[in-house]
């Protein structure tokens, strides 16, 4: 089955062609980062309008790269939520219109299920069951995964998501959007141990997260240095290092707890923050101690992309799922409400 995947939940237009027999044939992405950067974050209306402009050229591009025709496509998968409603509606309308015109089925995919399954596109995919740490700009969740659609939420953030904490902290320190990669870059030059920030909610049992206080701690440190006349680049790097270490440690401690609690030894990390090298290293070290294994997607499939939507949609289509002609999206959509395959 040849599936066209469309992702438009936020500020990336992602398109891909996935073949159930041959794997991923082509994928293309247009990132709107430059468009939103001047505003310090995503402007929803600008995002929707830009998706409209990029979608059809990207579809033509993946078809040409894969050497396929529109008539070869058997089904269309699109992100139906969670995300920005206007942006989601562009992908959903486009998918439904093309599906109607081409006489093929369309399926709405849950964005976080897409992220969660992205490591399945790699050479050594994880086997069920596993614990998944979903860390994106909008979500920080620990999930027990027994199969596609068989999700048990173990814990999540009670305030900011991990990616959001990276973005907000970066903004406070005058770094451009998106802040995650910027902080990661500065942290590489930072001195470990100069700034020690809290590891929120690790001193009590449970798998909940809270990252909003950490952002304030980083801001206080930054302001104190500024007041003391220390505006050096090195200080910014040292704070970035301290902040990243606090996030990475906190995530590692909670992942270890989730693995103990479930008795599982495979961990999948997915979503934009799973591209973070320090996080990967820390989790790999922790899993080596437990004789377990950590799985993640190649960096470009950690952040938003069409390949993960094409893959997740393909699995659901193969199981017989698809939508009617209605164009329906959901800004909020709990992943554990999805039907199992």
Which residues of this chain interact with ligand KG4, rule CB under 6 A? 10, 115, 136-138, 163, 166-167, 178-181, 184, 271-273, 275-276, 303-304
242 binds, among Zn ion, ligand KG4, none (CB under 5 to 8 A by kind): none
Which CB atom, from 271 or from 292, has the smaller least distance to ligand KG4?
A: 271
Q: For residue 245, state whether it binds Zn ion (rule: CB under 5 A).
A: no
* Residue 42 CB, nearest approach to ligand KG4 (Å): 9
* Residue 117 CB, nearest approach to ligand KG4 (Å): 13
Single residue of 7, 27, 304, 323 touching Zn ion by CB under 5 A: 304
Which CB atom, from 24 or from 219, has the smaller least distance to Zn ion?
A: 24
Which CB atom, from 63 or from 121, has the smaller least distance to ligand KG4?
A: 121
Q: Is the dihedral of CA 196, 213, 188, 176 positive or negative?
A: negative
Which CB atom, from 256 or from 276, has the smaller least distance to ligand KG4?
A: 276
Which CB atom, from 54 or from 115, has the smaller least distance to ligand KG4?
A: 115
Which CB atom, from 2 or from 182, has the smaller least distance to ligand KG4?
A: 182
Single residue of 136, 141, 157, 250 touching Zn ion by CB under 5 A: 136
* Residue 244 CB, nearest approach to ligand KG4 (Å): 8
* Part of the chain binding Zn ion (CB under 5 A), chosen from 42-50, 52-60, 131-139, 187-195: 131-139
Q: How far apart are CA 40 and CA 37, in angstroms?
A: 5
Contact residues for Zn ion, defined by CB under 5 A = 136, 304
């Amino acid at each position: 089955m040849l599936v066209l995947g469309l992702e438009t939940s936020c500020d990336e237009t992602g398109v891909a062609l996935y073949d159930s027999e041959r794997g991923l044939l082509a994928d293309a992405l247009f990132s709107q980062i430059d468009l939103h950067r001047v505003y310090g974050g995503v402007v929803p209306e600008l995002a929707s309008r830009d998706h409209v402009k990029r979608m059809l050229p990207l579809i033509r591009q993946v078809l040409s790269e894969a050497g396929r025709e529109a008539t070869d496509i058997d089904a269309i998968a699109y992100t139906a939520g969670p995300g920005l409603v206007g942006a989601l509606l562009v992908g959903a309308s486009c998918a439904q219109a093309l599906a109607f015109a081409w006489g093929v089925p369309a399926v709405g995919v849950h964005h976080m299920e897409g992220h969660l399954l992205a490591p399945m596109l790699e050479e050594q995919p994880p086997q069920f069951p596993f614990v998944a740490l979903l860390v994106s700009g909008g979500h920080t969740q620990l999930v027990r995964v027994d199969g596609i659609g068989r999700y048990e939420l173990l814990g999540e953030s009670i305030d900011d998501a991990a990616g959001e904490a990276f973005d907000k902290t970066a903004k406070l320190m005058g770094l451009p959007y998106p802040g995650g990669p910027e902080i990661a870059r500065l942290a590489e030059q930072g001195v470990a141990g100069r700034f020690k920030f809290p590891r929120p909610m690790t001193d009590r049992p449970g798998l909940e997260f809270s990252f909003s206080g950490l952002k304030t701690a980083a801001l206080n440190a930054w302001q104190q240095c500024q007041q003391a006349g220390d505006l050096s680049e090195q200080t910014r790097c040292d704070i970035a290092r301290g902040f990243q270490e606090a996030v990475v440690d906190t995530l590692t401690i909670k992942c270890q707890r989730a693995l103990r609690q479930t008795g599982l030894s495979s961990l999948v990390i997915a979503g934009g923050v799973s591209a973070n090298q320090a996080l990967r290293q820390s989790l790999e070290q922790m899993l080596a101690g437990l004789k377990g294994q950590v799985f993640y997607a190649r960096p470009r499939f950690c952040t938003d992309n069409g390949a993960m939507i094409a893959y997740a949609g393909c699995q659901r289509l193969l199981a017989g799922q698809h939508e009617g002609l209605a164009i329906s999206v959901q800004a909020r959509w709990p992943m554990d409400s999805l039907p199992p395959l």
